[in-house]
Amino acid sequence: MTDRTDLSKIIASTDDNPLILSPESLPLQEDVELERKLRELKFKQELRKDWILFIVRDVVIFPAAILFIFAASGYSLFLHIHG
Q: What is the mean pLDDT of residues 3-27?
A: 58
Q: What is the pLDDT of residues 26-76, one digit of tens each?
A: 568 888 999 999 999 999 999 999 999 999 999 999 999 999 999 999 999
14 close to 26: Cβ distance less than 8 angstroms: no
11 close to 5: Cβ distance less than 8 angstroms: no
33 phi-psi bin (left φ>0, alpha ψ -120 to 50, beta other) = alpha
Angle at 27 between CA 23 and CA 33, to 5 degrees: 140
34 close to 28: Cβ distance less than 8 angstroms: no
Higher-confidence residue of 75 and 1: namely 75
pLDDT in the model for residue 81: 94
Please report, for the chain, the start and end positions of each structural domain, with discontinuous segments joined by +: 2-82
pLDDT in the model for residue 58: 92
